Chains A and B, each alone.
Chain A
Amino acid sequence: AKMFTQVYGDNGKMKEYHYTGPVEHRFSPYSFNGGTVLAVAGEDFAIVASDTRLSEGYSIHSRDSPKCYKLTNTTVIGCSGFHGDCLTLTKIIDARLKMYKHSNNKSMTSGAIAAMLSTILYGRRFFPYYVYNIIGGLDEEGKGAVYSFDPVGSYQRDTYKAGGSASAMLQPLLDNQIGFKNMEGVQHLPLNQEKAVQLVKDVFISAAERDVYTGDALRICIVTKEGIKEETVPLRKD
């Protein structure tokens, strides 16, 4: 419609064609590679789960690109958004973890990693890392901890959080099933590990049904004091 008013003018006669000047072609430094991440904290465990699809536009780059990265024996981070920034950010976090270990002769705790990530992200406040992070792990007392971030470093400790492309679909479901919100007369049973893993699998099946960027497979990392156990479950591939 806009093109016609330029070419035809107000009275319907064709206007003189004139050159409008140099045209700016914009280059965007970001791209969205899709993916959904989810973390749940239990009494003595934490679960970080992500789908493994890497996409761009309407195409698939990879069906096997998990978004959970192991940081220490007690902490796993899930990163989704722009894959280039996810890779760089995890490399930077790994380097900082090594530096801390060499200086302080101990591994970083989950809370410390979360605080450090917040400063790393805010350091790039004016050219942000396009990454939605969620850290899941065990705190110093051995209880499950989940820390969720925004792209510029704002964070808080949660019991459960979903991030990435299907986060708006998953978060209300988790609010209902784990937080028992919007329900009356229901027993508030504490979440045990087996039920939490089942819930995470079911919730991702639903996300893959309705979100085009989520699918292929689900990678679940379960963090307990024994260590980190990984499990892979197939999802829709279409």
Chain B
Amino acid sequence: MALSNVVETPASGFNFENVSRNVALEGLLEGGHTKAPKPMKTGTTIAGVVCKDGVVLGADTRATSGEVVADKMCAKIHYISPNMYCCGAGTAADTEKTTDLLSSNLTIFSMNSGRNPRVVMAVNILQDMLFRYRGQIGASLILGGVDCTGNHLYTVGPYGSIDKVPYLAMGSGDLAALGILEDRFKPNMELEEAKELVRDAIHSGIMSDLGSGNNIDICVITKQGVDYIRPYQESEYKDKRQRRYKYRPGTTSILTEKIVPLELEVVQETVQRMDTA
């Protein structure tokens, strides 16, 4: 789909080919007592802040699948281009694939034109794609980057809405994080102060929201480069267990054993010289 953007223009209007197929599938699954597999959501807290020298993005590292923690150290800050990173909340597969697609598109563009992509271009591509899918792609993204026009922070919602903001939080812990940001944000902050603010905002999301937890990742984007600190802060809870749970070899009973020897014979031998000059 990314290449089709560059090579041919898509047919005009909305594409609803898959709607009747989806309805039929839902009916099939409900009738047959099998449930559709639940997509893994990130149930997240992500935040971003624009400061004097660049943009600071932060995220927690917990991915939940319903009420179970599926991944304790998942990476929610995705690489888009050398000067842009994107935090994603919502369905994990959607955020990963959307940001991958965006990154590929921008790489093709910068190879074609010889220029570094601007943040506003990335936002437009994202908005175009998410709006086209009418909210079926459950990705809420915070895109931050530094380009020749300055430091920018944008949010893109799953239905394709965008907003250009100086500070922002998204995900299930967004209200908790926004409380901290609203209280302490000032325009043109120093880098260290901005990092502490984002860390505190994510921390508040982690403590107040059950869908967020574990460690905090921070990504600092400036004109000089990117500092992706993973983890910026590890969770202070250390699970010290009191007993050791190790099993001796032989604890699992072997019921039957069958050994099939693989007989190999040399059929053909070729030698290929490597050029090691």
Q: Which of A177, A198, A206, A236 contacts B242 (CB 8 A)?
A: A198
Q: In chain A between 1 and 17, which residues have their CB closer than 8 angstroms to a CB of chain B?
A: 1-2, 4-5, 8, 12
Residues from 252 to 268 in B contacting A, C-beta threshold 8 Å: 252-253
Inter-chain CA distance A198–B245, complex, in Å, is 12
Chosen A-B contacts, 22 in total, with CB atoms closer than 8 Å, are A1-B19, A8-B16, A55-B210, A58-B43, A58-B210, A165-B67, A185-B248, A185-B250, A198-B243, A201-B242, A202-B241, A205-B239, A209-B69, A211-B67, A211-B68, A212-B43, A212-B64, A212-B68, A212-B210, A236-B237, A237-B237, A238-B207
Query: Which of A193-229 touch B at CB < 8 Å?
Result: 195, 198-199, 201-202, 205-206, 209-213
The segment from B120-128, B144-152, B154-162, B211-219 that touches chain A is B211-219
CB-based contact A209/B72 at 8 Å: yes
CB closest chain-B residue, reference A186: B251
Question: Bound state CA distance, A12 and B16, in angstroms?
Answer: 9
Complex CA–CA separation, A55 to B253 (angstroms): 42
- From the candidates A4, A213, A238, name the one contacting B67 in the complex (CB within 8 A): A213
> Considering the chains assembled together, what is the distance between the CA atoms of A214 and B46 in angstroms?
23
Residue B224 at the chain A interface, CB threshold 8 Å: no
**Majority DSSP secondary structure for residues of B touching A:** loop
Q: Tell me the nearest residue of chain A to B24, going by C-beta.
A: A1
Q: Contacts of B239 on A, CB cut-off 8 Å? A: 205-206, 209, 236
* Chain B residues within 8 Å of A185, by CB: 248, 250-251
CB distance from B60 to the nearest CB of A (A): 8
Q: Which residues of A contact B235 (CB under 8 A)?
A: 236, 238
| Cβ distance A220 to chain B, nearest Cβ, rounded Å | 13
Q: Say yes or no for A183: interface residue by CB 8 A criterion.
A: yes
Query: How many of chain B's residues have a CB under 8 angstroms from any CB in A?
Result: 37
Interface string of B9-52 (1 = CB under 8 A from A): 00000001001101100100000000000000001000000000
B23 touches A2 (CB 8 A): yes
| Interface, chain B (partner A; CB < 8 A) | 16, 19-20, 22-23, 26, 43, 62, 64, 67-69, 72, 172, 206-214, 235, 237, 239-243, 245, 247-248, 250-253
Given known contacts A1-B26, A185-B248, A237-B237, A59 and B19 CB-to-CB distance under 8 angstroms: no
Query: Is residue A141 within 8 Å, beta carbon to beta carbon, of the partner chain?
Result: no
A231 within 8 A of B: no
- Kindly list chain B residues whose C-beta atoms are within 8 Å of the C-beta of A206: 239
Which of A55, A202, A206 lies at the interface centre, i.e. has the most chain B CB atoms within 10 A of its CB?
A202
| Most interface-central of B26, B172, B242 (chain A CB within 10 A) | B242
Enumerate chain A residues within 8 angstroms of B214, measured Cβ to Cβ.
Answer: 238
Taking CB atoms, residues of chain A closer than 8 Å to B237 are: 235-238
Q: In the assembly, what is the distance between CA of A62 and CA of B172, in Å?
A: 18
